[in-house]
Structure 1
């Protein structure tokens, strides 16, 4: 199985099917995943992140837009779609991952997802959050 096939199967198993037992089996060591700003994700952290995110949106699908395997590295640009749990609206946001493998397991992972867009779409942030912040506006609770 290629690294791409491996990770596409992992996205489906963990994020779509919510089989959280698939998390630990995919990493060489507990701190292999990171890159979410301010977060270094251990498998235990993923066990909390997946249900928290899934409570906010339903019917997730992860589609590979671009991918490149070179040596023991995989880079991916993905599109995540789903339905808002709050109001039933369609959601769509992108993410990028870079992963280094040892055998068929992830040894390092660097993730960056457009959570600002995601949180705008579910109403947790105002529309045009980045433009507001760039214009000097302060987001107030």
Structure 2
């Protein structure tokens, strides 16, 4: 299986279907993901906690790998997510990036970036234009 297919499987099985057992198939026990939560490298245990929280907030998330580049043991992907807000049915869209190193069919280290600010704005958990407010020096809240 190619790296793109492994990434597609990761997003489908884990993040869309909530199949937490797939984490142990696609990660090693020592795999750590950086970038999702500042100053925290997440392993399989943390993903088993994070994924259900995400899936409580949105329904029917669709992950699309918009661009994927592979180089040796590494793959980089730009991704987009379309879903609906569980509480309101309102559509939500976000983008992210992933950089992963593989050993065979398993991810052994990943670096992530996801537009959480825009995502949480669309869920009405942050005020609209939060980034612009912060850039002007205004505190949120």
Structure 1 and Structure 2 fold alike (TM over 0.5): yes
Aligned equivalent of 1:128:
129
Q: How does 1:1-141 map to 2 (within 5 A)?
A: 1-36=1-36, 37-140=38-141
List alignment gaps of at least 5 residues for structure 1: none
Compare the two structures and name the one with the higher strand fraction. Answer: 2
Q: Per-residue CA shift, 1:85-124, capped at 9, x if unaligned?
A: 1211000000000000011111110111000000000000
Question: Contact (CA 8 Å) 2:31, 2:107: kept in 1 or not?
Answer: no
Deviations 1:9-64 (A, max 9, x none): 11101111111000012113334222222321110100000000110000000001
**Structure 2: how far apart are the matches of 1:87 and 1:28?**
37
RMSD, matched Cα: 1.0
> Is the partner of 1:138 in helix, strand or coil?
coil
Inter-partner Cα distance in structure 2 for 1:24 and 1:70: 24
SS in 1 for 2:41: coil
Cα offset, 1:73, TM superposition: 0.4
TM-score by length of 1: 0.95
* Local SS of the residue matching 1:88: coil
